């Protein structure tokens, strides 16, 4: 899956990202959320600038992950995209002098990354189990996976500790999953 993402042209990625994010912005989960946790996209991932712009324009609180230890992350408030810097593992995060933690219980919607997803809401993570551990701390937040069409596969192997998502949004589909 990672090689497929890398193989996409910038134009293909931008067109697909726009469709996916547009589907998210029209979704009731996003519309009703006051506090959203997303991630700052890596170049080969779905580009979330449009999501960030919309959240700022609509006075939503936007948080992104901050790696605070091995396998552990906390949500940190993102005041503006200009406050992003390269953090651990080359992942963009909020610069240190602007960091304010967001309470876990305040998060309404989490945009969950992954390498692959299935229609039952299972996800294949990117390694490390950061999101599986994090999602256990925010059980009431809606979990939304943004996925290129080709990342949707028939069956993702899962174990009891693997966190499922509530909704998967691709360029062409919005799939509601049963997290239970």
* Domain 2-158 -> CATH class: alpha beta
| Amino acid 3: pLDDT | 84
DSSP summary character for residue 152: B
Interatomic CA distance for residues 172 and 105, integer angstroms: 31
- Domain extents in the chain: 2-158
Residue among 107, 114, 127 nearest 156 (CA): 114
List pLDDT tens digits, range 82-132: 999 988 778 889 999 999 999 999 999 999 999 999 999 999 987 778 898
- Quick check: 169 and 24 in contact, CB under 8 A? yes
Task: Tally Cβ neighbours within 10 Å of residue 81.
Answer: 13
- Strands 174-176 vs 167-169: parallel, antiparallel or unpaired: antiparallel
For the chain, how many residues are written? 180
| Amino acid 87: pLDDT | 83
In a structure prediction context, what are the per-residue pLDDT tens digits for the chain, which is 180 residues long?
888 888 899 999 999 999 999 999 999 999 999 999 999 998 899 999 999 999 999 999 999 999 888 878 999 999 999 999 988 778 889 999 999 999 999 999 999 999 999 999 999 987 778 898 999 999 899 999 999 999 999 999 888 778 899 999 999 999 999 876
């Amino acid at each position: 899956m990672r090689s497929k993402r890398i193989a996409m042209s910038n134009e293909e990625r931008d067109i697909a990202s726009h469709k996916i994010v547009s589907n998210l912005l029209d979704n009731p989960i996003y519309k009703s959320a006051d506090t959203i946790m997303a991630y700052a996209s890596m170049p080969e991932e779905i580009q979330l600038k449009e999501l960030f712009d919309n959240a700022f324009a609509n006075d939503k609180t936007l948080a992104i992950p901050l790696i605070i230890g091995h396998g552990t992350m906390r949500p940190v408030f993102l005041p503006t995209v200009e406050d992003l810097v390269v953090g651990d593992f080359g992942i963009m995060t909020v610069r240190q002098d602007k960091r304010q933690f967001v309470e876990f219980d305040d998060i309404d919607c989490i945009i969950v990354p992954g390498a692959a997803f299935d229609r039952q809401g299972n996800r294949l993570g990117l390694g490390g189990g950061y999101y599986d551990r994090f999602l256990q701390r925010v059980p009431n937040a809606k979990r939304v996976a943004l996925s290129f069409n080709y990342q949707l596969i028939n069956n993702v192997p899962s174990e009891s500790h693997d966190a499922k998502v509530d909704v998967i949004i691709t360029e062409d589909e919005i799939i509601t999953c049963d997290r239970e």
